[in-house]
Amino acid sequence: MTTPGPSLRADAARNRELLLAAAEEVFAEQGPDASIADIARRAGVAKGTVFRHFATKEELVAAIVGGHFAALIAVARGLLDSADPGAALREFLTVAADGLNQDLTALQTISEGDSRVTELRNQLHTSIEVLVERAREAGAVRPDLTGADVFLLICAPVHAAGFSPTPHPDLWRRYLGIIVDGLSPEGATALPHPAPEWP
């Protein structure tokens, strides 16, 4: 009563974080069909507790995807004033892939209907667009590159590395290197398809 105790709330908040972390791990290991039971077990809580924090499985997935998007937005914004726009874009793609696990793509599909996720996705796209614009103006990337392209390519390195029969946690850096080279204006060939429009 006297002290507006954050203690209970703190416990709940801690469980929420535990759950998000556990869910991310389990989804990464088992794919988007991992069961809530497994996630609860990993987090060390009961099944019911998952649903106290996330009313549906979809909501849990949306929280994960939204969290990633929010983090990426912060990264992109932090790089807006960089002196070297080309390096900034490369840094963005590196940091983005570094915080990813392979599933984000599949999870994204699940949370497609979530309006909060859509909103964040659009914000992220906008932030990336600015980053790309700067790099384009500086001649650091191919002139036909758009923000949508970069958005769609974020997961590609992690995804490609994920198929390796001999997995290595940093292998994605190799494929990011190849893609980044492909973004360079030097030796860029005409692309056979226009960039996607953003809705």
The CA–CA distances, whole Å, from 10 to 17, 161, 173 equal 11, 38, 37
Q: Smallest gap, in angstroms, from Cβ of residue 76 to a second copy?
A: 17
- Contacts of residue 47, Cβ cutoff 8 Å, sequence gap at least 6: 36, 37, 40
Taking contact as CB under 8 A, which single stretch among the options 2-10, 59-67, 129-137, 168-176 is the one that binds a second copy? 168-176
Q: Give the largest CA-CA distance in the chain.
A: 69
Q: Which of DNA, a second copy, none does residue 57 bind (CB under 5 to 8 Å by kind)?
A: DNA
Q: Which is nearer to DNA, 56 or 122 (CB)?
A: 56
What does the per-residue mask of binding to a second copy show for 46-85, with x meaning CB under 8 A? ----------------------------------------
Residues in contact with DNA, total (CB under 7 A)? 27
Q: Which is nearer to DNA, 52 or 77 (CB)?
A: 52
Buried b (16+ CB within 10 A) or exposed e, 45-58: beeebbeebbeebe
The CA–CA distances, whole Å, from 80 to 92, 132, 140, 184 equal 10, 10, 15, 19
- The CA distance from 122 to 108, in Å, is 13
- The CA distance from 196 to 118, in Å, is 17
- 36 forms part of the interface with DNA (CB under 7 A): yes
Q: Which of 15, 105, 123, 126 binds a second copy (CB under 8 A)?
A: 105
Q: Which residues bind DNA (CB under 7 A)?
A: 1, 5, 7-9, 11-12, 15, 33-38, 45-53, 55-58
Q: Which residues bind a second copy (CB under 8 A)?
A: 31, 33, 105-106, 108-109, 121, 142, 148-149, 151-153, 155-156, 159-168, 170-175, 177-184, 186-199
